[in-house]
Amino acid sequence: MLSRLEKIANEQRGSRRKTMRANCQEQYSNDFLSASEKMDGQKEMDVLCFGGEDWWYHNRAHIDFQLMRRFAKQGIVLYINSIVMQKPDVRQGRKFVQKLIRKAKSISKGLKKTKAGFWVCSPFSLPAHHVAWVRPLNEMLLRFQLSSMTRKLRIRSPVIWVACPTACDVALSMKKSRLVYQRTDCYEAYPNVDVETITTYDRKLKAEADLTIFVNSSLYEKETGQCKKAIYLDHGVDFEMFAVAEQNQQIPADIANIKKPIVGYFGGHADHKVDIELILKIAELLPEVSFVIVGDCAGSYSHRLHEENICLLGQKSYEQIPHYGKCFDVGILPWKINRWTEAANPIKLKEYLALGKPVVSTSAFTELEQYLDIVYQANTPEDFAKCIKKAYSENSPELMAKRRQKVALSSWDSKAEIVLHELFTKGESKVP
């Protein structure tokens, strides 16, 4: 009886999410005002973004990178590379040292303007936000460095964008025209963070932000009541870049000679996200298939990925990703099922679909529900292997077109317009 009630409840939640997405698309598909009109007559909009990633080292598909590219056309944008959120863990050994070196290199680059049109800097701060007496010192350090940068760039009263909760205190204390909180992950469920501290920051930001942005409908439904104003904003995709990649006949040298069929994955390989055991078991079940993994295998398990039919190609630039992805016969999302992944909304799913590739995924994230008409879902190694075979055998030009059509209108430009509309339109939190 309980399972039946749970099934009915899940169906009702799924129906509400579909209605919410449909209303959102209808609301923003008609008659958008120009960006300058949306900004209450402002000619420019400066933005100071406390990012969730490091521009110099991370995948540039992330939503904060993508939106800052667009906002840089409206004014000056300063992107602050991620302020350390995880507690230092020397037990990680070599990985810990690599992180320190990478952070030091990022800090040493100073303030630089990128080809994307915005400025980037990694300020120095102490990786100890979980220690109460360190927080005021960190805030003082950050405010001093930010004051110098904003004076140099002549940024006076920017929109402050927070995609990293550890920037909470300094963001709230700064002069600003608007405050945006990017709640695109369940930050407190991230490994090796101080849950109480991050939860406190999260609650404070949702209460104070002029706009809180969610990319996962389940998280939005659960937390919108904690926000001054909140919207659900599905992720975008660089559709053209991925959709036209196959028209370029050039194939990267390190994938050109890998035996077909190729089942591929590109992106991060964090231990809390990718299910290594699942990959290994699927590779054993499908010895005739080549499994290609593109990305930084920095996880503690990477040394185990040396099966004969598993190929690790390492990290590639964002611009190269479509040219590796076009070589895949099937794209996979072998994610673990946990609290963090449940609240995620992987951009790579849309990138696979823009490439026209069949996709097999675990049921790790709730956002997958809206794609089950074109995506194969499996959680066990045996079912996953069967779905890979089915996806490969059923693929056709018609299905490729259907997959692309599903994400063709999800441009990052349209997402930026939605944010501008909501940010400069007065109103309380509501379901779009």
* Domain parsing of the chain, residue ranges: 32-236+411-423, 239-407
- Which SS3 state, helix, strand or coil, does residue 212 take? strand
What is the structure's pLDDT at 424?
A: 86
Least confident of 55-64, 91-100, 191-200, 374-383: 91-100
Higher-confidence residue of 20 and 307: namely 307
Within 13 A of 358's CA, how many CA atoms are on the CB side?
Answer: 21
Report helix, strand or coil for 314.
strand
Q: Is 239-407 in the same CATH topology as 32-236+411-423?
A: yes
Does the pLDDT value for residue 306 go beyond 90? Answer: no
> Residue 227 and residue 241: Cα distance in Å, rounded?
35
When pLDDT is averaged across residues 157-171 and rounded to a whole number, the result is 96
In three-state secondary structure terms, 145 is helix
pLDDT number for residue 426: 60
* CATH domain 32-236+411-423 topology: Rossmann fold (3.40.50)
pLDDT at 39 over 60: no
The confidence score (pLDDT) of residue 243 equals 97
- Phi and psi dihedrals of 97, rounded to 5? -65, -45
Is 419 within 8 Å of 214 (Cβ atoms)?
no
Give the C-alpha separation, 210 to 189, whole Å. 24
Which has the minimum average pLDDT: 10-24, 193-207, 234-248, 326-340? 10-24
- What is the homologous superfamily of the domain 239-407 according to CATH? Glycogen Phosphorylase B; (3.40.50.2000)
Indicate the DSSP class of residue 225.
G
pLDDT band at 28 (very low <50, low <70, confident <90, very high): very low
- The answer for 154, left when phi > 0, alpha when psi is -120 to 50, beta otherwise, is left
Q: Which residues of 336-397 form beta strands (DSSP E)?
A: 359-361, 375-377
pLDDT tens for each residue of 77-117: 999 999 988 777 767 677 778 778 888 999 999 999 999 99
Place of tokens 């602050």: 80
Higher local confidence (pLDDT), 397 or 431: 397
In the predicted model, is pLDDT for residue 198 greater than 80?
A: yes
Predicted structure pTM score: 0.87
| Backbone torsions φ then ψ of 199, nearest 5 degrees | -65, -40
Whether the predicted pLDDT of 119 surpasses 70: yes
Six token digits for residue 92: 């990680």
pLDDT given at position 275: 94
Contact 159, 177 (CB under 8 A): yes
Give the pLDDT mean for 12-38: 46
Give me the pLDDT at residue 307, please.
72
Quick one: pLDDT band at residue 59, thresholds 50, 70, 90? Answer: confident
Q: Would you state the pLDDT for residue 274?
A: 92
Rounded CA separation 53/120 (Å): 11
What pLDDT, on a 0 to 100 scale, did the predictor assign at position 430?
A: 45
pLDDT, position 165: 95
Assess whether pLDDT exceeds 70 at residue 8.
no
State the DSSP code for 340.
H
